[in-house]
Amino acid sequence: MALSRIFIDTGVFFAAELPRDQFYRSSREAWNELSDTTVKLYSSEAVFQETAMLVHYRTGPESAIRWTELQMQSQLIIWLPVDAQVRKAALPWMKKFADQAVSFVDATSFALMRRENIRHVFGYDRHFVTAGFRLWPE
């Protein structure tokens, strides 16, 4: 793997928690591959919140609590803050891709990835490709 840094999107966290998700198997396999590397893993506070909410609504509060505690205890992921500067930088992304219904969370991810010079995203959302990033695994 030639990657040194990768951003992790909501869909990956969620798929790994829901065995009936279409991306469950590929998500688990890719997580295993990442655990055997020195790739630095990044995500955002907005992705954290979005994932916790999705897990809560789709699998129940116990699963959401377990996922949240696990992430809070883990040192694997660098959770980038979504502050006023990031929110401001996200707005042009939302405007640029308004016809494609890019979410605010995705737009903040784009802004953070651009700021941190992260070119790859572990995810399944094609909006990242449209925004000029590369999905991993491809």
Q: What is the pLDDT of residue 1?
A: 52
For 59-95, how does the pLDDT look when each residue is reduced to its tens digit (9 = 90+)? 999 999 999 999 999 888 999 999 999 999 999 999 9
Mean pLDDT over 43-69 rounds to: 95
pTM (predicted TM-score): 0.91
Distances (CA, A) of 17 to 57, 64, 73, 85, 111: 12, 9, 17, 31, 26
Tokens of 102: 């890019």
**For the chain, domain boundaries:** 5-81+118-136
Region 34-45: mean pLDDT is: 89
Q: Which residues contact 113 (CB under 8 A, 6 or more apart)?
A: 7, 119, 121, 133
Instruction: Return all residues near 39 (Cβ < 8 A) that are at least 6 apart.
Output: 1, 3, 4, 5, 6
* Assigned fold of 5-81+118-136: Rossmann fold (3.40.50)
pLDDT, tens digit (0-9, with 9 covering 90-100), for 8-32: 999 998 888 888 888 888 888 888 8
